Structure 1
């Protein structure tokens, strides 16, 4: 690290209850992820949607093996998002078939050549692209918990009532913040990088860090459970965005979980809040010695991110520990939720 970037990676807990500790991912079957699609295939078209359950394979590995198996380009195999390798994950891939091969014939070919389970296959008229999902459902087993199921239920009740800060996890920021530091170097023109994908990823890591710091500031000011004049709010059901002007009305909508405030992923095209909310975001830029023009110079457009997620957690007893079931919107991190239960910071 460097004295020029004073990183603060600490994140507050939103729940007051003591953690239950325990272990996660002692086996891949202890961590299950199921993709929630935006739409279902209609049975017509040249893209065969194949719903696959995988284990000990990355999404990229399955994508490449499907492309190799059917002798097509990797980019002709679509996927909505990346899923964990060391977990049992279910997601849908689209495979381009111009000859419209029968789904019943394709299923055994895949299962005979790739160690996955095909749950169903059906045609659709477009390729699955990144972001074509609502979110993910998680079933996670915490083994050897030090706390009781009653403690876990109390934490779940608290989160279910108030929601959870939509912090970015260590997967995005990197261990010890190294990705953040590299992104900062790029933004400040202290480093050059030819690999466009890596450059974009590192800059995004720094944006994620700034977003986390905004959420921390909001919590510290007692504003996590309150709307602020000028906030850009987002509707949970439709995704619609609007400025908060009638604070009393919109606070009621926030309390009823119809809307939440959005947090900044800073960039030169990011929609800006107004009034008090604008001042809050500008505090982050001032503290980090940043100017919006620096994002423009690096072609970082920016966007808004939901500041609060509503996971609706169910806690149940398990012969090996305590099981959690919940759903998160796309971009949400299960590690953020798990740290609230365990009160242990994730390391990977």
Structure 2
């Protein structure tokens, strides 16, 4: 298992295609024979100098069928798609991380408060801590949308340049709002960790409040080697197509790595 590389996990309920890396020709031959017996098809084989690791991908292409839709679903989806194309899709984490009744988040907060004393297995700890970080990010994104600041830059925000990925502090909110709406930059939200670069001003105050509300600090994440990072508040879906076949809608699109197809579907199919 340690020798097999992959860039990310796929939905276990879907028919998926993805790349795997294997270390030697002998291992490849052995794996091929077992895959054929399990019903997996090998579509292409090529050589590469490096092992694939989680995160080594630009994004994912999706083709999703939504069955038995209401009569005007296609028109409503296209109307919402126009808005998403203009301002982007909220880059929420999806609820599959939370566990049943959000137990992963609740247990994760308890684990972070206790530190090493309450430590679970390494895998379980990573799962729980990431659920907390994702949940807090979603709360921050909710707050931005509720305040009308989804496509608005604020002084003290940490923005990300689309072209280079570089991060910087927003000094002139009017200038950076124009760049945001032109697609040159994105505003980021917090994925909490011990080394997180926190925003300043009003955005920074909200980031601090969210931690205090659950009784945590950035240091709470240190025992779990979770450094933190910044995540764009929006994502721009690409190559979106929607077509109708009888009572079904078929959605095809591309999302950058870490963004959720279920979130896009909820945006397009929701009330």
TM-score, length-normalised on structure 1? Answer: 0.71
Q: CA deviation at 1:281?
A: 1.4
Aligned equivalents of 1:78 and 1:322: distance in 2?
Answer: 35
2: CA distance, partners of 1:141 / 1:79: 26
Structure 2 unpaired stretches of 5+: none
Count residues with an aligned counterpart.
268
Q: List per-residue Cα deviations over 1:243-272 (Å, max 9, x = no partner).
A: 112322221111012211111011220112
| Distance change (3 Å), C-alpha of 1:278 and 1:147 | farther
Q: RCO (CA 8 Å, sep 6+): is it higher in 1 or 2? A: 2
Contact in 1 for aligned 2:109/2:129 (Cα 8 Å): yes
Determine which of 154, 160, 164 is the counterpart of 2:85. Answer: 160
Displacement of 1:111 after TM fit?
5.6
Shift of 1:297: 4.7
| Aligned residue in 1 for 2:18 | 91
CA distance in 1, matches of 2:247, 2:14: 17
Residues 223, 132 of structure 1: CA spacing in aligned structure 2 closer, same or farther, 3 A cutoff? same
CA offset digits 1:5-55 (Å, max 9, x no partner):
xxxxxxxxxxxxxxxxxxxxxxxxxxxxxxxxxxxxxxxxxxxxxxxxxxx
- Contact 1:315 1:323 (8 Å CA) reproduced: yes
- How far the C-alpha of 1:92 sits from its partner, in A, is 0.1
- The aligned residue for residue 316 of structure 1 is 243
Structure 2-normalised TM-score?
A: 0.90
Q: List alignment gaps of at least 5 residues for structure 1.
A: 1-73
C-alpha RMSD over aligned residues:
2.3
- CA shift, 1:187, in A, is 1.0
Q: Residue 176 of structure 1 is aligned with which of 92, 98, 101?
A: 101
Rounded to whole Å, the distance in 2 between the matches of 1:280 and 1:317 is 43
* DSSP 3-state at the match of 1:325: strand
Aligned to 2:132: 206
Instruction: Work out the CA distance in 2 between the residues paired with 1:83 and 1:298.
Output: 25
Contact 2:87 2:151 in 1 (8 A): yes
The match for 1:112 is 36
- Find the aligned partners of 1:128 and 1:251 in 2 and give their Cα distance: 37
Report the counterpart of residue 151 of structure 1 in structure 2.
76
Q: Which moved more, 1:158-167 or 1:309-318?
A: 309-318
Kindly indicate whether the alpha-carbon contact (under 8 Å) linking 1:156 and 1:315 is maintained by their aligned counterparts in 2. no
Structure (1 or 2) with the greater strand fraction? 1
Mapping 1:150-299, distance limit 5 Å: 150-189=75-114, 192-299=118-225
284 and 112 in structure 1: CA distance in 2 versus 1, 3 angstrom threshold = closer
**SS state at 1:119 partner:** coil
Contact 2:89-2:236 within 8 A present in 1 as well: yes
Alignment match, 1:36: none
Question: Conserved in 1, the CA contact under 8 Å of 2:112 and 2:216?
Answer: no
